[in-house]
Structure 1
Amino acid sequence: MSERVIPGRTGGLITLGAADALWAGLTTDSAVPTASAAFTCSPADARAGYVLLGGRVVATVKAGGGQWRVPETEVRRAAAELNAVEMDRQDLVRIGPFRDAPQQEHTEGTPLRWRRRITQELQELGAPERAARREDGRPYHLAGIDWRRILVEQTHDRTRRTWWLPRAVVRLLDAAEHTETQWLKAALTCQKSATATEPPSHPRQARAADGRQTTSPDCPTTPLRPYNEELKGHLYSVLSRKPGTSRKVAGWTCAVCRTAPAAVLDHCHEHGYVRAPVCHSCNTQERPDHLYSNDIRVAHHYTRLFHTHTADWLRHWHRCPGCRTRTTLPLPHLAAWTAHIACRSLRPTHRAPRGRKPCGVLRVSWTGSQNAPRSCLLTVTVDFCPSGEHRVLARVPYREAAERFRTWLAETAPAVAAAAGPDRLDGLPTRSRPVIADTSGEGLALF
């Protein structure tokens, strides 16, 4: 990791220009590309009392002569945290636009809202290259991250564009948004406390030019707490109507990755039970790139769900009492598993420069539903075959698919299988049914 020597006392206050140079020098070899003007370029604003770097808040201090400065040690800590992040450029998360997506709840006073910022910039200016630069030609960044260098634009049907970012970057930006929210809450608490205990002529916080308060760096933020099954057995339809639920969810770490702050309540749409609070990244990881009423495309990320992170995801899915009791998965999940695992040996291959490559893209559709297992049939096919073929690999009855999954579960994740079974819970409905409306847009209701 390269470093640039900054004149002055180590750990003391440095100017914003020196902080820019230090940040750029320390993160030169980072897997996540960073901006060279993290402190002096929009949306960073030293007058707000803080600047976001990755998932960390760096306090700004107004020193003599009216110049803003930042602690050098905090810049170095933020750079070290960012350098430790590993990024897979192929593991992408869609960030927009989402058709007919409802307005999500945002904490008042949080300026980052990075998804909205990126979407607005791209929609207004029409191209990533133009959107990524301001009128004055300086690069536009988010939390010190140069998102323009890693943004992926995909076009469907020659008209419809979607935008994607690597999952590691999505988690960083989600963490930054959460950290900023906690920082502003702590600042408001400190402000109220100072107003109640000190005379008006000696305020501890100065008002910035834009009306926001500068923040004292010694105001602590509330640490995230791990999720310990506090919501086990609760129905999402009940919790989602309770006031303060979103605020409570934001206090947990994600129950899947256990690193990013939770943002939403993941729940089973077939049985209606809450699984756990998860971050935006993990909430999208289980979903396919296309989902229709009875048809999904089995994307490459299922390799992670059913191979490298199998036990974690199976344990998470079985947090739903309905799925755990029946030792199964919701129908779209079971369909994806059937295509990806049970029919893997049936998938044809083609010659490639380095051996042989699996043919096309898997798609699985079904007739009927899990409510009528005898009439439900899963059909696994191959799309986009290089030779122009579209072949049907298998037709698997629902009951056979569920039985195959139970056998595979016992071999792959015995601890998860041991916790499942029909005698584990009484009072479940005899027929499972989707009880939750689509909350994400793009027809993802079944997930």
Structure 2
Amino acid sequence: MAERVTAGRADGLITLGAADVLWAGLTADSAVPTASAALTRSPARAQAGYVLLGGCVVATVKASGRWSVVETEVRRAAAELNAVEMDRQDLVRIGPFRDGAKQEHHEETPLRWRRRIARELQELNEPERADGRLYHLAGIDWRHILVEQTCDGAQRTWWLPRAVVRLLDMAEHTETRWLRAARTRQAGTTVAESPSRHRQTRTVDGRPATSPNHPAVPLRPYNEELKGHLYSVLSRKPGISRKVAGWACAVCRSAPAAVLDHCHEHGYVRAPVCHSCNTQERPDHLYSNHIRVGDHYRRLFHTHTAQWLRHWHRCPGCRARTTLPLPHLAAWTAHIACRSLRPTHRDPRSSRGRKPCGALRVSWTGSHHAPGSCQFTVAVDLCPSGEHRVLAHVSYREAAEQFRTWLTETAPAVAAEAGPDRLDDLPTQIRPVIADTSSEGQALF
């Protein structure tokens, strides 16, 4: 039987059952679907001293033999979740990937939502467990927003809205800081525990004064501390993951950084970024020499152009060449240089009356290390006038020249910092890691 939330107890404790009802009621109209048993059903662990609700940690207290939480904390977590705007069309691929080990992060946090989802989806054919299979993560009912797609009619891929990926990454980061703060306090405590150890001093707003949900560890801005470092060297250093997690994302500057974004052509670190910005920056290809040019390129080349160009040019090799890495240059060529060639059709919902048709795609042969043989092919898939309609063939040299002209007009400050006369940070010997697609090996990574 569901427990009723008692009115007038906003500054006191409520049981986990009552908190479940409160959470479900407060988030009923949220853009992000939530679960009704977020505090009592796996993977919530009240006995560990906390539960995750969205991107917040809510401390649990055992009083009178029952686990409880502060009502104002649940309301605060619900308010933060309700403020999240979600675009169901803006998707981020969460798996499966070729190298699953590379997708793991924050190993010290029990949430590990990517691993949980992967395991859940891979075990769909197994009998239901007696204790119930997990259906929520941090109070979010991810099943209702998971999108499955197939690649080449064979491999399944899993996608979630970008806003939810940001939220779950924030939950992992917050949980990690909570656990570190808890261990630090536990190690520094010299007074023996008393029977009243579960009593906590509360502030005027009802929040536990010693709650590790609010550790005084602000994210520090990234100030080019990793400039010129090789990713292959830096990624092997002990403790680098913990150091990266202490930075704010160098692109959005709001979310905690989680990975080191680096140039796959020259092998140099660009900056620490959050998972959402990393997937937004990554070309939409499936480990081959073609790219699907989706809507997110409008952000990269229109709304936040200077910011992204400056980020890409953190690689000394790309900055000296005044261009982009091969996959990014291919996407730019299709999205900007060949925009006028893309066919359109009538759209009664648009004020202009027309919209581009089909799906834009660009592929390439050769390598930027041999510009004379490297060529881009821009095409439209599923075009009404042809299943695969080729729009243009553009050589690498021509695409690079067009990009340099566009860069000077679009982001003059970025262009002024690049070019062959800006060789201060360029290593004497660049270490390319991208394979020549004219040879047997066609994998980019």
Pair in the same fold by TM > 0.5: yes
Q: CA deviation at 1:419?
A: 2.2
- Are residue 176 (structure 1) and residue 174 (structure 2) matched? no
2: CA distance, partners of 1:109 / 1:61 = 23
Query: Could you tell me which amino acid in structure 2 is paired with residue 62 of structure 1?
Result: K
2: CA distance, partners of 1:85 / 1:70 = 23
Task: Return closer, same or farther for 1:110/1:292 CA change in 2, 3 Å cut-off.
Answer: closer
Equivalence for 1:281 = 276
- Are residue 325 (structure 1) and residue 323 (structure 2) matched? no
Task: Return closer, same or farther for 1:428/1:157 CA change in 2, 3 Å cut-off.
Answer: closer
Equivalence for 1:211 = none
Equivalence for 1:212 = none
Equivalence for 2:71 = 72
Equivalence for 2:311 = 316
Query: Could you tell me which amino acid in structure 1 is paired with residue 70 of structure 2?
Result: P
Equivalence for 1:366 = 364
2: CA distance, partners of 1:158 / 1:396 = 29
Task: Return closer, same or farther for 1:26/1:375 CA change in 2, 3 Å cut-off.
Answer: same
Equivalence for 1:258 = 253
SS of the equivalent of 2:232 reads helix
Equivalence for 2:406 = 408
2: CA distance, partners of 1:433 / 1:218 = 44
- Are residue 40 (structure 1) and residue 17 (structure 2) matched? no
SS of the equivalent of 2:180 reads helix
Write the mapping of 1:159-238 to structure 2, written as runs, cut at 5 A. 159-194=154-189, 197-199=190-192, 217=211, 221=215, 222-238=217-233
- Are residue 239 (structure 1) and residue 234 (structure 2) matched? yes
SS of the equivalent of 1:382 reads strand
Task: Return closer, same or farther for 1:256/1:135 CA change in 2, 3 Å cut-off.
Answer: farther
Equivalence for 2:433 = 435
Query: Could you tell me which amino acid in structure 2 is paired with residue 12 of structure 1?
Result: G
Equivalence for 2:382 = 384
Task: Return closer, same or farther for 1:402/1:282 CA change in 2, 3 Å cut-off.
Answer: same
1:64-104 CA distance string (max 9 Å, x none): 2x111111121121112111111111000111111343355
Q: CA deviation at 1:264?
A: 0.8
Task: Return closer, same or farther for 1:402/1:103 CA change in 2, 3 Å cut-off.
Answer: closer
Task: Return closer, same or farther for 1:353/1:314 CA change in 2, 3 Å cut-off.
Answer: same
Equivalence for 2:417 = 419
Q: CA deviation at 1:276?
A: 0.6
Task: Return closer, same or farther for 1:34/1:368 CA change in 2, 3 Å cut-off.
Answer: same
Equivalence for 1:209 = none
Stretch of structure 1 that moved more, 251-260 or 286-295: 286-295
SS of the equivalent of 1:394 reads strand
Stretch of structure 1 that moved more, 151-160 or 166-175: 151-160
2: CA distance, partners of 1:220 / 1:352 = 50
Equivalence for 1:57 = 57
1: CA distance, partners of 2:173 / 2:261 = 18
Query: Could you tell me which amino acid in structure 1 is paired with residue 182 of structure 2?
Result: A
1:124-148 CA distance string (max 9 Å, x none): 015xxx99x8756687210011111
SS of the equivalent of 2:236 reads coil
SS of the equivalent of 2:376 reads strand
Structure 2: 5+ residue runs without aligned partners? Answer: 200-208, 436-440
2: CA distance, partners of 1:224 / 1:271 = 29
Structure 1: 5+ residue runs without aligned partners? Answer: 207-214, 438-442
Stretch of structure 1 that moved more, 343-352 or 411-420: 411-420
Task: Return closer, same or farther for 1:154/1:295 CA change in 2, 3 Å cut-off.
Answer: closer
Q: CA deviation at 1:350?
A: 2.9
Contact 2:34 2:139 in 1 (8 A): yes
Contact 1:295 1:363 in 2 (8 A): yes
Task: Return closer, same or farther for 1:156/1:397 CA change in 2, 3 Å cut-off.
Answer: closer
Contact 2:56 2:213 in 1 (8 A): no
Contact 1:187 1:219 in 2 (8 A): no
2: CA distance, partners of 1:62 / 1:138 = 26
Equivalence for 1:22 = 22
2: CA distance, partners of 1:444 / 1:241 = 26
Task: Return closer, same or farther for 1:253/1:390 CA change in 2, 3 Å cut-off.
Answer: same
Equivalence for 2:334 = 339
Task: Return closer, same or farther for 1:427/1:114 CA change in 2, 3 Å cut-off.
Answer: closer
2: CA distance, partners of 1:140 / 1:162 = 19
Task: Return closer, same or farther for 1:111/1:216 CA change in 2, 3 Å cut-off.
Answer: farther
2: CA distance, partners of 1:430 / 1:389 = 47
2: CA distance, partners of 1:107 / 1:174 = 9
Task: Return closer, same or farther for 1:434/1:125 CA change in 2, 3 Å cut-off.
Answer: same
Q: CA deviation at 1:27?
A: 1.5
Q: CA RMSD in A?
A: 2.8
2: CA distance, partners of 1:123 / 1:188 = 34
Number of equivalenced pairs: 424
Query: Could you tell me which amino acid in structure 1 is paired with residue 88 of structure 2?
Result: R
